Amino acid sequence: MPHNDCLVVELQLGDVEVSRILIDTGISVNVIFKETLKNMDFPDSEIKPYMESLTRFTGEKTRTVGTVKIPIYVGGSARMIKFLVLNKPAIYNENLGTPWLFDMKAVASTFHQCVKFPTPSGIFTLKGSQTASRLCHLTECKLSLARTCVISPFQEGRTAAESQFGPPKQSQVDQVCIDPTNPEKCVGIGAELDNSIWEALISFLQKNVSTFAWNISDMPGINPDITCHELNIDPTYKPIKQKRRKLGPEKARAVNDEVEKLLKAGSITEVRYPD
């Protein structure tokens, strides 16, 4: 089915089946997280201290805390894979990058949601999980939304329970008529503007009131002598009459209203073609 899902698989690392493993062809390292190692009961003594700065696609830099070597069993074969260890929360348990793909001589396809690589018994297909991929994506969206929320400090004398996030403050806008001959030609101007700026802005708008398009008839378009649009159709091709598409009553009424407006403004004209 059509999708935009990442390739998320499940593999056996050592004696543990690990899920939520992201196959990432955009990174040049294999990454595993400290929390994942803790859940695997992996001894800290096996982590060799190593500090290196990793730069993400967004430009954010993260420092590793060490390296580990863990065997990965898949397709009847085993590979001892070197991972960089990161001590930070993450959606995925680990990320397998190009080093693992090169070592396995694997080809990954997010479209087909699988990874294929040769084994002594033939080509093995490691299938991804769209369900796990979408759950990870939803979790990441929720975390990103939470990170964008700015929490202001509590006001003096208020408790945490009393502090609430209210709606953002909205500036007051006054409707001002800029054409004395037509009271419908109004524009919204911020009421909190300085008086000098307010007067200068209104004066400027009144002098240029004819520049604005208040309805469709005020937008006649561009003179065809300057430029025009043409459909690049091969004249040798036979025209094809498309099947009529029926609309619901509400949509049909809205379309008819818009067509009437364009006809009255002269923006479109009716043209009859023989069958």
- Cβ atoms 67, 119 nearer than 8 A: no
CA-CA-CA-CA dihedral for 24, 28, 30, 32, to nearest 10? -80
DSSP code per residue over 88-149 = S--SSSEEE-HHHHHHHT-EEETTTTEEEEEETTEEEEEE--HHHHHHHHHHHHHHHHHHHP
> What architecture does CATH give domain 8-146?
Beta Barrel (2.40)
> Do the strands 94-96 and 16-23 form a parallel or antiparallel pair, or are they unpaired?
parallel
> 8 φ, ψ to 5°?
-120, 125
Per-residue pLDDT at 178: 87
pTM of the entire structure?
A: 0.50
Say which residues have a Cβ less than 8 Å from residue 32's Cβ, sequence separation at least 6.
68, 70, 83, 84, 85, 86, 93, 94, 95
For 175-237, the DSSP string reads EEE--TT-TT-EEEEETTS-HHHHHHHHHHHHHTGGGS--SGGG-----TTT--------TTS
Tokens of 209: 């009131």
Nearest to 129 by CA among 232, 22, 32, 57: 22
Residue 135 φ then ψ, to 5°: -65, -40
What is the pLDDT at residue 234?
85
> What is the residue extent of each domain of the chain?
8-146, 173-213
Those residues with Cβ within 8 angstroms of residue 243's Cβ, 6 or more apart along the chain or in another chain = none
| CA proximity to 86, closest of 29, 16, 139 | 29
Nearest residue to 21 (alpha-carbon basis) of 11, 29, 30:
11
CB 64 within 8 A of CB 49: no
Rounded CA separation 55/133 (Å): 23
Q: What is the reported pLDDT for 165?
A: 45
- Please, are residues 125 and 117 in contact by the beta-carbon 8 Å criterion? no
Residue 144 pLDDT: 64
CB 241 within 8 A of CB 275: yes
- pLDDT number for residue 271: 82
What is the reported pLDDT for 147? 53
Task: List the chain residues with pLDDT less than 50.
Answer: 150-166
**Dist CA 29 CA 95 (whole Å):** 8
* pLDDT reported for residue 156: 44
Q: What CA–CA distance (Å, rounded) separates 154 from 261?
A: 54
Tell me the pLDDT tens digit for each residue of 124-177: 999 988 888 888 878 777 766 655 554 444 444 444 444 444 455 566 888 888
pLDDT tens digits along 101-128:
999 999 999 888 999 999 888 999 999 8
